[in-house]
Chains A and B, each alone.
Chain A
Amino acid sequence: MQGKHWISALALTVGLVAGSGAFAQTTVRIAWYSDGNEGEVVSDLLKRFEAQNKDIKVVLDQVPYKAITENLPVQLASGQGPDIARVVDLGGVARYALDMRPYLKDASYWEKNFGPFLPWMRPEGDSSAITGFMTQLTVTGPFVNKTLFEQAGVALPGAKATWEEWGKAAKDVAAKVKAPFPVAMDRSGHRFFSVAISEGAKVFDDRGEPAVIDEGFKRGAKLIYDWHQNGTMAKELWGSVSGTAYRGANDEFKNAQVVMYQSGSWQIAQFDKTVGDAFDWVAVPSPCGAGGCSPMPGGAGLVAIKTTKSPEAVAKVMDYLASEPVLSEFYARSLFVPGHLGIAAKGLDYAGATPQGKAALKVFSDQVAQISPAAYKLQGYANNRVIFNAVISRLGQAISGEGTLDEAYKRIESDIAQQIAERKK
């Protein structure tokens, strides 16, 4: 009798162990920041993934943007990072990225659809790794408060209008309708280079090394400097903070205080939702300068991290998120410009967007064709944030009255050289 009890207990134990083995889950942790509603969308998509893949649990840590730019690099350097992260500093994070090629279902699908963007996420010297995909391709460009133009009786400048023409028109409008910000531009290196590259900045020399200060750069810097001196731009953004701090004018634009806001495609979802019918806003093509009309490309990539203990599970999650139907839904619901060539070619139906949101998405999608090689090169450069940070820090000082533009140029060059030298040590 007692023997039977032992057998039953043993069977139960074996059953429990086997059962627990059957339900053992691999946890994949994603660090994710959001500009708009994309956190909700991806969370929804991941729930479906978990329902289809009971053996993988995905934990989505939604963190502030600053945590991605400042805390994540330290976490990654210490080997304590997440398994996957949504990042904007693609070049900076690339050395911690996992080459998923051996684990992916079909590497050729990734090469075919994400080809031009894969080098942005590769460690220096690597020409084959597949480390992630673009959750959004961003394009810089201006948003314009059309209602203010109508109220002021000023015509919107045409598609090939120059920065100067836009600045003058915005200033006229602001003077007539008493708007405090004729032109606002995010305090960001990307936004600055959308001006500088269209003014002819080359950024790199023939050997591919940074040679940031040239005539095109100076034209762009002087334009922004002069705009701050003559009141076309208010000092609250570029001149009010120090160092590398980012400042945007989203709230000011939503409150109809800005006539023209130089930002980018990632703002569409936010404006579409929050502005509503308070006023009419439009996205317009990137203004032109002496070097063309190129916007700056950019965006956020979802990158697998090499310290993960479960590369197979990570690749499975990434394969799912990067698959065409899932990614189409993600882009469409988040109102993002697709960073997937197949989806971009077919076009997306942004069903949830208002007519002005859809129109803005079309403008930015069309602008992709205008992006110059110099702009692509800068975006793909691993140390591009070194350049961006030096520019906003030093130009910001000149704008606020601490030194001249020439002094700022010298500092930009030395800051970049010092930081790159430090990285190479």
Chain B
Amino acid sequence: MASAETKPRREGEGAAGLLAAPLTLLMRLVDGPMRALQRLIGERRMAYVFILPNLAFFSLFVFLPLIINVIFSVTGGAGLFPSERPFVGTQQYGYLFDCGSFLDPSSCREDHFWRGVSNTARFTVFQVTAMVLFSLLTAIVLNMKIRARGFFRAVYFFPVLLSPVVVALTWKWILQRDGLLNAAITSIGGERILLLVDPSWAMFWIVFVSVWAHMGFYTLILLAGLQAIPADLYEAAEMDATPRWRVFWRITLPLLWPNMIVVIVLALIKGVQTFDEVFVLTGGGPGTATLMIVHYIYETAFANQVQNFGLAAAASVVLGIVLFALTLAQLAASRRKGAA
């Protein structure tokens, strides 16, 4: 009877070996010219050669559109190509900032822009606060030894996989006049509530839906942070009979802070950029109660008969500067915290 013993596999054998052969050949082919190049420009400059492909890609699809956007923002008219557009200097920015009082959008020439700014600011404050709190709470619970922990982790992460349009449509079916929520309310004898027609309710629901849809992602980041905290710190605290709130305040939160910064920055950037979910769920209404700044840019550039690319580009530049400043502020805060 033949032995069923398996022979030890040699390195490079099988499918991996098949793939390795052409790769090795390719590396050998590249090796010569790269060595020559290194001799020519020096070892230190080789780093630039390696990042060049990515830099070229990034320049083409990020920097170039950014520059075109800035060019558009100093031109006027309804033409599409820069050559068809007259130079107007800072006129578009002047229109945006032509305000009696920045606290009263109705006193501004571009009142919808300022309503968008105001709504986006309110939305971001509420959404980021709620997002961080609920993500933290969920991560802490999911980090505990609870039953069906894997199942719950999957459940909280599932909405992240859905398209924003699907999320918004699903909630629209729940919240509209003849939606599931009103069906439930009327079935127990209550009166229908027009949840997306009342301005306060509309803002509440867009924050709620946004938190529901994205919380899983931020929970995952915080969960990873929680799991990286050494268990012996908690054991030492337990031996000292430290109260749980103090453990959280003195151990969990400081060690989780780098992850918290990531969550806050990402949620802040995403909050300011919010468009798709709100557009589908409320269309920016009622009135302009949920009109976001990106929605204003879209309307100005595409929805009007005279597609005002110049004004939309100027608003985009302003939005970009705000986002850049926010990101820098958050990074500075995290560095100070890290240094402390």
A239 to B289 alpha-carbon distance, docked (Å):
10
Tell which of B88, B289, B295, B306 touches A419, judged by Cβ atoms closer than 8 Å: B306
Interface positions of A from 241 to 282, Cβ below 8 Å from B: 241-245, 247
A247 to B282 alpha-carbon distance, docked (Å):
12
Contact A400 B289, beta carbon cutoff 8 Å: yes
Is A425's beta carbon under 8 Å from chain B?
A: yes
Is A423's beta carbon under 8 Å from chain B?
A: yes
Specify which chain A residues have a CB less than 8 angstroms from the CB of B291 in the assembled complex.
242-243
Smallest CB–CB gap between A38 and chain B, Å? Answer: 24
Contact A425 B76, beta carbon cutoff 8 Å: yes
Given contacts A397-B287, A401-B287, A422-B308, whether A241 and B303 have CB atoms under 8 Å apart is: no
A89 to B306 alpha-carbon distance, docked (Å):
11
Smallest CB–CB gap between B260 and chain A, Å? Answer: 34
A402 to B112 alpha-carbon distance, docked (Å):
12
What sequence of 0s and 1s flags, for each residue 190-231 of chain B, a beta carbon within 8 Å of any chain A beta carbon?
000010110100000000000000000000000000000000
Look across to chain B and name the residue whose beta carbon is closest to the beta carbon of A411. Answer: B111
Tell which of A70, A386, A422 touches B76, judged by Cβ atoms closer than 8 Å: A422
Contact B287 A400, beta carbon cutoff 8 Å: yes
Given contacts A242-B295, A397-B287, A400-B289, whether A425 and B307 have CB atoms under 8 Å apart is: no
A407 to B111 alpha-carbon distance, docked (Å):
12
Is A365's beta carbon under 8 Å from chain B?
A: no
What sequence of 0s and 1s flags, for each residue 271-287 of chain B, a beta carbon within 8 Å of any chain A beta carbon?
00000000000111111
Specify which chain B residues have a CB less than 8 angstroms from the CB of A420 in the assembled complex.
306
A247 to B305 alpha-carbon distance, docked (Å):
18
Given contacts A70-B302, A74-B302, A400-B199, whether A407 and B287 have CB atoms under 8 Å apart is: no
Contact B286 A70, beta carbon cutoff 8 Å: no
Is A77's beta carbon under 8 Å from chain B?
A: yes
Specify which chain A residues have a CB less than 8 angstroms from the CB of B311 in the assembled complex.
422
A48 to B291 alpha-carbon distance, docked (Å):
48
Tell which of B109, B284, B305 touches A242, judged by Cβ atoms closer than 8 Å: B284
Tell which of A69, A245, A399, A419 touches B284, judged by Cβ atoms closer than 8 Å: A245
Specify which chain B residues have a CB less than 8 angstroms from the CB of A414 in the assembled complex.
109
Is B3's beta carbon under 8 Å from chain A?
A: no
A41 to B15 alpha-carbon distance, docked (Å):
55
Smallest CB–CB gap between A247 and chain B, Å? Answer: 8
Contact A77 B299, beta carbon cutoff 8 Å: no
Look across to chain B and name the residue whose beta carbon is closest to the beta carbon of A386. Answer: B305
* Listed residue (B199, B288, B302, B304) with the most chain A CB atoms within 10 angstroms of its CB: B304
* Listed residue (A69, A400, A407) with the most chain B CB atoms within 10 angstroms of its CB: A400
Interface size class of A (residues with CB under 8 A): 35 or more
Contact B305 A407, beta carbon cutoff 8 Å: no
Specify which chain B residues have a CB less than 8 angstroms from the CB of A400 in the assembled complex.
199, 285-287, 289
A399 to B288 alpha-carbon distance, docked (Å):
11
Specify which chain B residues have a CB less than 8 angstroms from the CB of A242 in the assembled complex.
112, 283-291, 295
Segment from B20-28, B41-49, B78-86, B126-134 that makes contact with A: B78-86
A243 to B305 alpha-carbon distance, docked (Å):
13
Contact B287 A422, beta carbon cutoff 8 Å: no
Is A385's beta carbon under 8 Å from chain B?
A: yes
A402 to B119 alpha-carbon distance, docked (Å):
14
Is B177's beta carbon under 8 Å from chain A?
A: yes
Contact B306 A235, beta carbon cutoff 8 Å: no
Contact A389 B305, beta carbon cutoff 8 Å: yes
Specify which chain A residues have a CB less than 8 angstroms from the CB of B258 in the assembled complex.
none
- State the majority secondary structure of interface residues on A: helix
Contact B303 A70, beta carbon cutoff 8 Å: yes
A71 to B80 alpha-carbon distance, docked (Å):
13
Given contacts A239-B287, A397-B287, A403-B106, whether A244 and B197 have CB atoms under 8 Å apart is: no
Contact B78 A423, beta carbon cutoff 8 Å: yes
Contact A89 B77, beta carbon cutoff 8 Å: no
Contact A240 B196, beta carbon cutoff 8 Å: yes
Tell which of B76, B288, B308 touches A397, judged by Cβ atoms closer than 8 Å: B288
Specify which chain B residues have a CB less than 8 angstroms from the CB of A239 in the assembled complex.
197, 285-287
Specify which chain A residues have a CB less than 8 angstroms from the CB of B289 in the assembled complex.
242, 400, 402
Look across to chain B and name the residue whose beta carbon is closest to the beta carbon of A89. Answer: B305
Specify which chain A residues have a CB less than 8 angstroms from the CB of B310 in the assembled complex.
422
Look across to chain B and name the residue whose beta carbon is closest to the beta carbon of A425. Answer: B77
Contact A386 B284, beta carbon cutoff 8 Å: no
Smallest CB–CB gap between B75 and chain A, Å? Answer: 9
Smallest CB–CB gap between B231 and chain A, Å? Answer: 52
Is A180's beta carbon under 8 Å from chain B?
A: yes
* Listed residue (B76, B177, B303) with the most chain A CB atoms within 10 angstroms of its CB: B303
A150 to B220 alpha-carbon distance, docked (Å):
60
Smallest CB–CB gap between B306 and chain A, Å? Answer: 4
Smallest CB–CB gap between A325 and chain B, Å? Answer: 36
Q: List 16 A-B contacts (CB under 8 A).
A: A69-B303, A74-B80, A77-B81, A78-B80, A78-B81, A92-B305, A180-B177, A235-B286, A236-B197, A240-B196, A386-B305, A386-B306, A389-B305, A396-B285, A411-B111, A422-B306
> Which chain A residues have a beta carbon within 8 Å of chain B's beta carbons?
69-71, 73-74, 77-78, 89, 92, 180, 235-236, 239-245, 247, 383, 385-386, 389, 396-397, 399-403, 407, 411, 414, 419-420, 422-423, 425
Name the 10 nearest CB pairs between A and B, nearest first: A241-B283, A242-B284, A400-B287, A385-B305, A77-B80, A425-B77, A241-B285, A402-B287, A400-B286, A419-B306
Extra 6 A-B pairs, beta carbons < 8 Å, given A240-B285, A245-B285, A422-B77: A74-B307, A239-B287, A242-B291, A243-B291, A389-B304, A423-B306
